Amino acid sequence: MERRQPPQTEEGWYVLHDFRSIDWDAWRDAPDHRRSQAIDEGIDYLTAAERVDDAEEGDSATFSVLGHKADLLVLHLRPTLADIDALERSFEHTALAAFTEREDSYLSVTEVSGYMSQEYFEEGEEVEDTGMKRYIETRIKPSIPDSEFMSFYPMDKRRTAEDNWYDLPFDERAEHLSSHGEIGKQYAGRVTQIISGSIGLDDYEWGVTLFGNDPTDVKDLLYEMRFDPSTSRYAEFGQFISARRFPPENLGAFLAGEPVPQEGSSSAHGHGDHHHGDSESGGHHHGGSDGDSGHHHGGDDESGDDDSVRTELEDLGVYAGQPHGEDIHAVVLYSAADPDELYDEIEGLRSNFDHYDTHVKTAIYESTGDGEDAETGIVSLWETERAANTAAGFLADLPDVVRQAGDDEDDSWGTMGMFYTVKPEHRGDFLGTFEEAGKLLAEMDGHRKTDLLANREDENDMFIASRWDSREDAMQFFRSDEFAETVEWGRDVLADRPRHVFLSSGQD
């Protein structure tokens, strides 16, 4: 009898969905001081969990459950079961716990599988694809998206005499999941998910948690996937539970039956997005990232080193972003794909990104030079760090991504001059000046590479990307008379004030 090949898996963080109901009769009958204590201790617990005060890594979020199945959901992701266990028990010591009953729970663990990347599991092999590396990282160490709506359901793969998923050859299973993932790509930027394995941990084989700002996007995605054979022939589902996220500080409003706004989350760290990919559950491959994953967004690094750089540049008359939060956040990637192919992919992503008020623009930038090492850049600008982190996940799934700005393998210092909006009548002058500056840069110690790229759809919108051996090497250039003269000259030829974004990859 032939034994089918199971995919290898690697596990990451443990996931607990903790569903609670409120004893509303007890809540209404309780004296004011007990209710106040319960609210205060509940806020303290939930806020500390979302800050991940209890562990080195992880994430948590709080939700109001819709319908009769529960009232409150606290979602935890932590590196170990001990972390999860401690969180469960510490909640029971709060005054809020006395007014709750656990309706249900689901325990699982994030995972990646060989359906996604066989080479990842081959001994001694390195995954060279930058997008795939980031995808793997964000699948096993995800962050909870900052979306209002959430839908959770457990699922199995069918094992019947007629349709047994586990009797299919590996290649056929992989093909099913790849086809399934193509459907999910159409919802990039609108629906994200965390898929976690639960074989041996809970009643089903996987837990799937979907996130989105528009519940109908989740509905449409699941409806469309019902017609795919990976689901129609081979999937079995448990109950679905829907919920709305709210910040812990609004717990009092939640318990008072008042409208609970989703804004104002007290989570103190960024939220990335999650690749929806080729797990056995038939995940939707949407792109990925996670928390930070090496994504450096303009002006939002709070290190003292970057603060001093910005201060020094400000003294030189160069705007380098606010020390603790740029007004625009940038994600920049480079791809070896044909620009025409990239453009078609970007068009689809952009139509989804435009659903969000925080989206400023996403565009393809092509090198104005003709050197062999010229690269095509993808730039996505957002008003918030969380939105930029989310976008980074989807963008990393673009074809032939070779690197992300600030994510080089070797230690270096990156600067990125952005928002060079050139007055049309001075475009030729700007290109000529850049060529002269390039000659100066080539002679400078510590300079590695500088490239000028122009927006494919607006040739007057440009950015300059440079790599240096160290921060001090870059600063020597910024302190030079030649740079000061260029800045002064730029006031006449540029329509807006340029900004310089620092993308350090580890070297001071």
The structural domains of the chain, with segments of one domain joined by +, span 9-255, 304-504
Which of 36-40, 80-84, 224-228, 482-486 comes out lowest in average pLDDT?
482-486
pLDDT level of residue 204 (50, 70, 90 thresholds):
very high
Q: By the 8 A CB rule, do 147 and 194 touch?
A: no
pLDDT tens digit string along 251-264?
999 999 998 876 64
Two domains, one topology: 9-255 and 304-504: yes
In this predicted model, which residue has the larger pLDDT, 152 or 173?
Answer: 152
In which band, very low, low, confident or very high, does the pLDDT at 297 lie, cut at 50, 70 and 90?
very low
| Range 473-499 average pLDDT | 76
Return all residues near 57 (Cβ < 8 A) that are at least 6 apart: 13, 78, 79, 141
Strand (E) or helix (H) holding 450: strand 447-455
Contact partners, residue 458, CB within 8 Å, separation at least 6: 363
CB neighbours (10 Å) of residue 327? Answer: 12
Using alpha carbons, select from 487, 493, 486, 475 the residue that is nearest to residue 318: 487
* Distance separating alpha carbons of residues 478 and 484, to the nearest angstrom: 7
Most confidently modeled of 247-256, 411-420, 477-486?
247-256
As a whole number of angstroms, the distance between CA 113 and CA 8 comes to 6
Does 507 have pLDDT greater than 50? no
pLDDT score of 70 more than 70: yes
Q: Is the pLDDT of residue 52 over 70?
A: yes
Q: Which of 105-119, 197-211, 418-432, 454-468 has the lowest mean pLDDT?
A: 105-119
Greater pLDDT, 1 or 254: 254
- Is the confidence at residue 132, as pLDDT, over 70? no
Gyration radius of the chain over CA positions: 25
Confidence of residue 239 (pLDDT cuts 50, 70, 90): very high
More confident residue, 321 or 495: 495
Cβ partners under 8 Å of residue 139, min gap 6: 12, 110, 111, 112, 116, 195, 274, 275, 277, 288, 290
Q: State the CB neighbour count (10 A cutoff) for residue 301.
A: 21
User: Which among 113, 261, 283, 132 is positioned nearest to 195, based on CA atoms?
Assistant: 283
User: What tokens does 22 get?
Assistant: 């409120």
Please tell me the predicted confidence (pLDDT) of residue 265: 38
In this prediction, residue 4 has a pLDDT band, given cuts at 50, 70 and 90, of confident
- Residue 409 main-chain phi, psi, to 5 deg: -70, -40
Backbone angles phi, psi at 184, to 5 degrees: -60, -30
pLDDT at 75: 98
What DSSP designation does 164 have?
B
Per-residue model confidence as pLDDT tens digits over 9-30: 789 999 999 999 999 999 999 9
Residues 6+ positions from 223 with CB-CB distance below 8 Å: none
Strands 447-455 and 235-237, sheet pairing: unpaired
Could you tell me the pLDDT band of residue 266, with boundaries at 50, 70 and 90? very low
* Pairwise pLDDT comparison (467 vs 458), residue with the higher score: 458
- Supply the pLDDT for residue 174: 77
Identify the CA nearest to 503 among candidates 438, 393, 407, 419. Answer: 407
Distance CA 312, CA 473 (A): 14
Across 4-38, b (16+ Cβ under 10 Å) vs e yields eeebebeebbbbbbbbbbbeeeebeebeeeebebb
Q: Which amino acid is at 314?
A: E
Percent of residues, the chain, with pLDDT higher than 90: 34
Query: Domain 304-504, CATH 3.40.50.720 — does that match?
Result: no
**Window from 39-53, 151-165, 290-304, 396-410 with minimum mean pLDDT:** 290-304
Please give the mean pLDDT across all residues of the chain.
Answer: 79
Confidence tier at 504 by pLDDT (50, 70, 90): very low
Burial class for 321, CB neighbours closer than 10 Å (0-12, 13-18, 19+): buried
User: Given pLDDT bands bounded at 50, 70 and 90, which one contains residue 303?
Assistant: very low
* Contact between 48 and 65 (Cβ < 8 Å): no
User: What are the tokens at 359?
Assistant: 């989206």
- 272 pLDDT tier (thresholds 50, 70, 90): very low
- Asked if the model's pLDDT at residue 69 lies above 50, the reply is yes
Q: What is the CATH number of domain 9-255?
A: 3.30.70.1030
Residue 371 pLDDT exceeds 90: no
Is residue 144 over pLDDT 70? yes
447-455 vs 458-468, strand pairing mode: antiparallel
350 confidence band (pLDDT: 50, 70, 90) = confident
Q: Which residues are paired to 2 by β-bridges? A: none
CB atoms within 10 A of CB 309: 24
Active site residues: 153
- Per-residue model confidence as pLDDT tens digits over 92-121: 999 999 999 999 999 999 988 766 655 555
> What's the average model confidence in pLDDT over 347-368?
84
Q: How far is CA 67 from CA 64, 97, 170, in A?
A: 10, 21, 40
Q: Tokens 């050859």 identify what position?
A: 169
* pTM for the whole structure: 0.61
Strands 149-157 and 235-237: antiparallel
